[in-house]
Structure 1
Amino acid sequence: MFAETVIHAGGTTHGHATEAHAVRLLRTAIRRGYTVTPTRDGGASITWTARRLIAPGGIATAARSITLTPDTPAGVLTEGIRADLAAVDQATAALPLLQGGRLAIRAGLCLVGPAATSRLYGRRLVTEERGRVRLTLVAHLALLATRDASSPTVAAFFRAELTEQPA
Structure 2
Amino acid sequence: MVNTSVPSKKKRAAFSTTVFMKRLMAWSGLFFIVFVLFHAYGNTHYFEGEIAYDHYAYFLRELLVPIVPHGGVLWILRVLLLACLAVHAGSAFHLWIRNRKARGTDRYAVKKPGAEYFASRYAMRTMRWGGVILLLFVVWHILQFTTLTLTPGGHYEHGRAYMNMWYGFQLWWVYL
**TM-score under structure 1 length normalisation:** 0.28
**TM-score under structure 2 length normalisation:** 0.27
Which structure has more relative contact order (CA 8 Å, sep 6+)? It is: 1
Larger radius of gyration: 2
Indicate the structure with greater helix content. Answer: 2
Indicate the structure with greater strand content. Answer: 1
